[in-house]
Amino acid sequence: MTSRHLLIVFVVLLGLGPLVLPEFYITLLNYIGLYALVALGLVLLTGVGGLTSFGQAAFVGLGAYATAALTTATDLPAWLLPLANPWGGLLAGLLVTAAVALLLGVLTLRLSGHYLPLGTIAWGISLYFLFGNLQFLGGHTGISGIPTLSIAGIELRDGRHYYYLIWAVLLAAVWLTHNLLDSRAGRAIRALKGGVVMAEAMGVDTARTKTIIFLIAALFACLSGWLYAHLQRFVNPTPFGLHIGIEYLFMAVIGGAAYVWGALVGAALITVLKQWLQDLLPQLFGATGNFEVIAFGLLMIVVLHRARDGLWPWLVRWLPEKSALAERHRDAPPLPRRPVPAVGSPLLEVKDAIKQFGGLVANDHMSLHVNAGEILALIGPNGAGKSTFFNLVTGVNPPTAGEVRFMGERVDGHTSRMIARMGMSRTFQHVRLLAGMTVLENVALGAHMRGKHGVPAAMLHLEREEEHCLLAEAARHCQRVGLGEHLQDAAGSLPLGKQRIVEIARALAADPCLLLLDEPAAGLRFMEKQALAELLKQLRAEGMGILLVEHDMEFVMDLADRVVVMEFGKKIAEGLPHAVQSDPAVIEAYLGGVE
């Protein structure tokens, strides 16, 4: 029995439910479905993307109120009349939700992580009071008399009818989300957790990606609200308040925020628990009130202390093993490559670059150039400013003054994503891989810029051809750097030296013409170092330019065509490896002067 069989059994059981279950359980399952749809959006946003929102209930409210207002209004202006039905209500709700989500996203997503949740708290409260105080939305009493839905001529009259619609929508949403995560766009979303600098260096537009997942989460919530309004046929502000928004987040986190099925588990658990506690606690305490929040709050704290990944990974242990990923991509055709610059032509030219942090001059009038088909080593004692120089060249921290040219074009002031697109790839001194993703997926992230298909195609898996090409390309680079046997291993499970090699494969997958390597040989054993040196020599022979920061002198001196030595942010020597080695200034920098 495989996971697929289990899924079929689950769907069949769901389908049989209304035929055997009493009304009470149908209602409960309907609510679980509606809540799980919202929680699913939060899985994408919080568990996968590392952002969060406490305002999802307000988006549910937008969906519910949009259709409620349009289908019950009696004196609509003529231009709105075509929308005065449930489908028009759905469209209007989705549009309004998209507009609000985009606005909130643009406002908060460029700021550090906690501004989005804080913004959504404020937004959740505002919308709640707005619903309660706008007379045309019925104020605190709400809107009643919302019509039922009719689909293909069949009127959905009671909970049993809605049951099928709700669960079909939910399963479709699960399918779409699942597809999305298993794609180029999905890798970009998962890269958000690896930090903005890494994701941007791979060519991922992080601001746009964050906005997109926030938008998807909001639209799922809106859809849930639309279903809710037609199921209940009545709306008032209560279910759209901030506390319900918080409950949605709890569902996602307790179920397992990083897993699509976690949303379902969490929604089911919280809904059933709430039902039970709402009966039990008031009796226990001898007073009426929403005492279940005490239990939810405490449960949540315990889960975050003890099992931050939620219940799903714990449940999965009882499920059959996933069958190994089929290598569908093996025969995919290679991706087109960018034209290779002629050997000897200038790739990178830096002139008098200065980088200041306040009063500290980290790079002082640095100049160097790298040509196609050569290896330039940048060496110097710790703290000499080599990593600052890397950041300055790659656009992470633009220079305070001076000029950086890449492929003949001025790039100082360009973002790191633009520079990466022009064909400059890098590795990081402190390895920045996505530890939970496989080696193959990590390397495929490097090929991000070589694909085109976006989120809609990914959700429907219409981009499989391109995806296979990307994975095939990634697999080829893994083979080339000697990671062939680790394709399906989690990147975090490899030893540090191998993780550095994964970074090199990832950089190569972008098809660069200039490669920037930050201490690639650190942590490698002798044989591995030799293999790495061979690889770099091969790449040089193919016409690639390589800028190398490294402390291992033997490695550098055997490999580099030229060497630049830095100390205290300045270039103190430049030349052929052996000339530099006997330079008195360099010897003084490394070994200290003769007193």
Partner 1 sequence: MDLQIALLLAQDGIVNGAIYALLALALVLVFAVTRVIFIPQGEFVAYGALTLASFQIGQTPGTLWLLMVLGVAVAALDAPALWRQGCRAGPKIYGLIGRQIAYPLVIAALVLGAQPKEWPMLLQVLLALAVVVPLGPQLYRVAYQPIAEAPVLILLIVSVALHLALVGLGLLFFGAEGSRTPAFSDASLEVGGLTISGQSLWVVGASLVLIVALYVFFERSLYGKALRATAINRAGARLMGISTTLAGKLSFLLAAAIGALSGILIAPLTTIYYDTGFLVGLKGFVGAIVGGLASYPVAAAGALLVGLLEAFSSFHASAFKEVIVFTLIIPVLVWRSLTTRHVEEEE
Out of 72, 73, 96, 117, the residue judged to bind partner 1 by CB under 8 A? 117
CB nearer to partner 1: pick between 26 and 197: 197
Residues in binding contact with partner 1, number by CB under 8 A: 49
Alpha-carbon Rg for the chain, nearest whole angstrom, is 29
HSE-up of residue 233 (Cα within 13 Å, Cβ side): 10
Q: Which residues contact 86 (CB under 8 A, 6 or more apart)?
A: 67, 71, 147, 149, 226, 230
CB nearer to partner 1: pick between 131 and 555: 131
CB nearer to partner 1: pick between 29 and 242: 242
Scanning 4-12, 48-56, 326-334, 468-476 for contacts with partner 1 by CB under 8 A, the matching segment is 48-56
Out of 125, 315, 354, 462, the residue judged to bind partner 1 by CB under 8 A? 125
| Separation in Å, CA 460 to CA 288, 362, 455 | 48, 49, 9
Out of 35, 54, 228, 390, the residue judged to bind partner 1 by CB under 8 A? 54
**Buried/exposed 377-399: b ≥16 CB within 10 Å, e otherwise:** bbbbeeebbbbbbbbbbbbbbbb
Q: Which residues contact 262 (CB under 8 A, 6 or more apart)?
A: 43, 47, 252, 255, 256, 310, 311, 312
Q: Where does residue 358 rank: exposed (0-12), middle (13-18), buried (19+ CB within 10 A)?
A: exposed
The amino acid sitting at 574 is: E
Residues within window 283-312 making contact with partner 1, judged by CB under 8 A: 285, 287, 289-294, 296-298, 300-301, 304-305, 308
Query: Is 108 among the residues that bind partner 1 (CB under 8 A)?
Result: yes
Query: Is 8 among the residues that bind partner 1 (CB under 8 A)?
Result: no
Out of 195, 239, 482, 575, the residue judged to bind partner 1 by CB under 8 A? 195
Residue with tokens 């997958």: 509
Query: Is 115 among the residues that bind partner 1 (CB under 8 A)?
Result: yes
Output the smallest distance, CB 575 to partner 1, in A.
Answer: 35
Query: Is 280 among the residues that bind partner 1 (CB under 8 A)?
Result: no
Closest CA to 535 of 477, 458, 578: 477
Output the smallest distance, CB 318 to partner 1, in A.
Answer: 26
Residues within window 353-392 making contact with partner 1, judged by CB under 8 A: none
- Helices assigned H by DSSP within 437-583: 439-446, 455-459, 464-480, 496-509, 526-541, 553-559, 577-581
Query: Is 52 among the residues that bind partner 1 (CB under 8 A)?
Result: yes
Output the smallest distance, CB 132 to partner 1, in A.
Answer: 8
Handedness of CA 366, 367, 371, 376 (dihedral sign): negative
Out of 165, 196, 273, 462, the residue judged to bind partner 1 by CB under 8 A? 196
152-156: long-range contacts (C-beta < 8 A, 24 or more apart)?
Answer: 156/230
Out of 18, 41, 50, 203, the residue judged to bind partner 1 by CB under 8 A? 50
With helix as H, strand as E and coil as C, how does 157-170 read?
A: CCHHHHHHHHHHHH
Residues within window 225-244 making contact with partner 1, judged by CB under 8 A: 243
CB nearer to partner 1: pick between 96 and 130: 130
Residues within window 417-456 making contact with partner 1, judged by CB under 8 A: none
Query: Is 164 among the residues that bind partner 1 (CB under 8 A)?
Result: no
Query: Is 490 among the residues that bind partner 1 (CB under 8 A)?
Result: no
| Separation in Å, CA 138 to CA 65, 75, 85, 253 | 10, 15, 18, 34
Contact 424, 512 (CB under 8 A): yes
CB nearer to partner 1: pick between 35 and 296: 296
Query: What is the DSSP code (8-state) at residue 482?
Result: T
CB nearer to partner 1: pick between 48 and 459: 48
List contacts with partner 1 (CB under 8 A): 46, 50-52, 54, 106-108, 110-115, 117-119, 121-123, 125-126, 129-130, 133, 195-197, 243, 246, 249-250, 253, 285, 287, 289-294, 296-298, 300-301, 304-305, 308
